[in-house]
Chain A
Amino acid sequence: MSERNIILKTPGLTMRFGGLTAVDNFDIEVQEGRIVGLIGPNGAGKTTCFNMITGFYNPSEGNIYFYDEDITGLPTHKVCAKGIARTFQNIRLFYNETVLQNVMIGAHLRQRSSWWQAPLNLPSFLREEKEISDKAMFLLEKVGLSDLAGEKANSLPYGEQRRLEIARALATQPKFLLLDEPAAGMNPQESWELMHFIQKTREDFDLTILLIEHDMKVVMGVCEHIWVLDYGKLIAEGPPEEIQANPKVIEAYLGEEYLENA
């Protein structure tokens, strides 16, 4: 296998809230172009890791390198501008806006013209607005929501809201996409579709994807490398087959039930 670039590196990443250490020495290296997973029981600190990487939290210790560039402590919007986009565990769409507007808002980051050009009606401004709306439509077609472009985001069914959130994240033109429990609340059929969707998205947009997921079928089916977090500490890492066989992981996360069913 050829050497891949390291897209994300987090040496010694630690987050403390008062006396509580939510994440302790979280140290991962993500290779470019991979789909990788972060799993662990509830409250293990997975979302805290996402929040540190995307700049919502300033880590207590350690650093975050994105393509060898130190992005520790950058504000969220600058992290996004660097090329890291995310979705949220409990979907956070702009609910009063239409599906199309939601994606256009994602694309706003790469918009060059500024607000004062709007009342002037400059041709360059109108052209760019058109480009953004076309690009948003293109992304909606990719995720299969183009028919619903004019609907309010809050009128969409759950699964489609998830896909819209991914389309919105893609509109920021990321290189690295963080998905926080994309399959939560989906039935087996939907999660199966989601797996293919994630793989196809990676191919189409040349992405690296890190996902948090509880649905083991999705994690094992789509991830090439997995990290396991328990009580804020990494307890294992490796390819899915190894993780599935690792007794520490089974004990901490998968439980005995899983062994019986397997």
Chain B
Amino acid sequence: MMGDRIRNHTLTLVAIFGLATFLWWANGNFDGYKIQIMNLIAINAILAVSLNLIYGFTGMFSLGHAGFMCVGAYVSSLLILPASQKEAIYILEPIIAPLHAAHAPFVVAVLLGGVVAAVFGLLIALPVLRLGGDYLGIATLGFGEIIRVFANNLVPITNGALGLKGIPGYANLWWNYGFMLFTFYVIIRIVNSNFGNALKAIRDDEVAAKAMGIDTYRYRVTSFTIGAFFAGIGGALLASLLTTIDPKMFLFVMTFQVLMIVVAGGLGSITGSIIGSVVITILLEWLRFVENPIIIGSFEIPGIPGMRMVIFSLSLVLIILFRREGLMGMRELTWDTLLSPFGKRGDVE
């Protein structure tokens, strides 16, 4: 047992080292487009794992992820935008005084984005988590929209519909994958602890969890807040990666993409979410060809913008119909399963 643990830790370290080597190599050899996709994979993985904590492990059907991302994105962007750039882009109304001067290093800005998103998460969780099931989904969906409408109308803070432009693009491969590993580490440690067991108990049978002395409401609020924190971090990184944000970016479609990754990868499986992020991020890019005109022989199919999302919505319907548990179900891909000769899948330790 002990030997296995040392072996697994070693393998994890080797894998991280391998990933770092690959990133270093990719940085020099990949073109900008491929690097952009790799960055998106890391950010999507952060978002998916954080939603999985809320939905997959604690069983709370939340549709508010875009809202938390929005908060994280704006907070962090306002902290890294240079004062001169702020003056240049706030055309409609000048930015309010304390934000004008506010500045922080990138890593602090991203973490603060997460913290403010977590505060919003906590505020929404306190009233809303008294609800369960579908009601929770509707309430969190409404919350996401409220955030977006605020972002659209609080012009002296968010610059309204014009959004923020010229955000410094600090979020390179190293930052994104670094934050990704940080997210994985924290959430895996939480999920594999006995606190994580308590969250899974709430998901499996809330009545029994209460009878076992678990304060289910408090635990749900905690899990929701942690999830919101990492969603905020994901949003902050995305803002710096794209260098421009506006409220329209954080429509429900954003939540839907993350939800799709989580459901396709397997609710309650971290490795499922990781695999889901890689596959779906690449597919989303690759499928762009369906939005361009396609010529087959003498036929020409005109390009339909948004066709990608039609295909993805359909595939989500198909996943739910035919493989409800997603790619991994609640199982995890562990070193033990990868190394065992028959490839038997194991569970989280």
Contacts and interface: CB of A to CB of B under 8 A. Distances in A.
A172 B212 contact: yes
Given A92-B208, A108-B198, A77 B190 contact: no
A114 interface: yes
B200 interface: yes
Chain A CB within 10 A, most for which of B190, B193, B195, B226: B193
A85 interface: yes
B189 A96 contact: no
A225 interface: no
B197 interface: yes
Interface residues of A, number: 37
A76 B210 contact: yes
Contacts of B208: 88, 92-94
Given A96-B330, A115-B190, A119-B190, A54 B211 contact: yes
Contacts of A81: 213
Interface string A118-149: 11010001000100100000000000000000
A100 B319 CA distance: 32
A106 B203 CA distance: 15
B190 A101 contact: no
A162 interface: no
A111 interface: yes
Given A85-B211, A96-B330, A168-B212, A108 B204 contact: no
Contacts of A132: 194
Nearest to B193: A118
A152 B203 CA distance: 16
Contact of A129 (B190, B193, B210, B215): B193
B211 A97 contact: no
A93 B205 CA distance: 7
Majority DSSP secondary structure for residues of B touching A = helix
B216 interface: yes
Contacts, number: 101
A132 B194 CA distance: 9
Given A95-B204, A96-B200, A129-B194, A109 B212 contact: yes
Contacts of A125: 193
B207 interface: yes
B109 interface: no
Interface in A134-189: 152, 168-169, 172
Interface string B78-121: 00000000000000000000000000000000000000000000
A109 B197 contact: no
A104 interface: yes
B152 to A, nearest CB: 35
B222 interface: yes
A86 B195 contact: no
A109 B205 CA distance: 16
A96 B215 CA distance: 20
B185 interface: yes
B197 A108 contact: yes
Contacts of B212: 77, 80, 85, 105-106, 108-109, 168-169, 172
Nearest to B329: A96
Given A119-B189, A121-B189, A129-B194, A109 B201 contact: no
Interface residues of B, number: 31
A178 to B, nearest CB: 10
B186 interface: yes
Contacts of B195: 108, 114-115, 118
A94 B214 contact: no
A222 interface: no
Interface string A63-106: 00000000000011100110001101000111111100100111
Nearest to A107: B194
B23 interface: no
B193 A96 contact: no
Nearest to A154: B204
Contact of A104 (B197, B204, B226, B347): B197
Contacts of B198: 105, 108
Chain B CB within 10 A, most for which of A85, A109, A114, A119: A119
Contact of B190 (A75, A96, A118): A118
A38 B238 CA distance: 61
Contacts of B211: 54, 56, 76, 80, 85-86, 88, 92
A94 B200 contact: yes
B340 to A, nearest CB: 15
A115 B222 contact: yes
Contacts of A76: 210-211
A75 B216 CA distance: 11
Contacts of A77: 210, 212-216
Nearest to A126: B193
Given A76-B211, A109-B213, A97 B190 contact: no
11 contacts: A56-B207, A56-B211, A92-B207, A93-B205, A94-B209, A96-B268, A104-B197, A108-B194, A108-B214, A115-B222, A118-B190
Given A95-B204, A108-B212, 14 more contacts: A77-B216, A80-B210, A80-B212, A94-B200, A94-B209, A105-B194, A105-B209, A106-B212, A106-B213, A115-B195, A118-B192, A118-B196, A119-B190, A172-B213
Lowest 7 CB-CB distances: which A-B pairs, in order?
Answer: A109-B213, A80-B213, A92-B208, A118-B193, A115-B195, A76-B210, A94-B204
Interface of A: 54, 56, 75-77, 80-81, 85-86, 88, 92-98, 101, 104-109, 111, 114-115, 118-119, 121, 125, 129, 132, 152, 168-169, 172
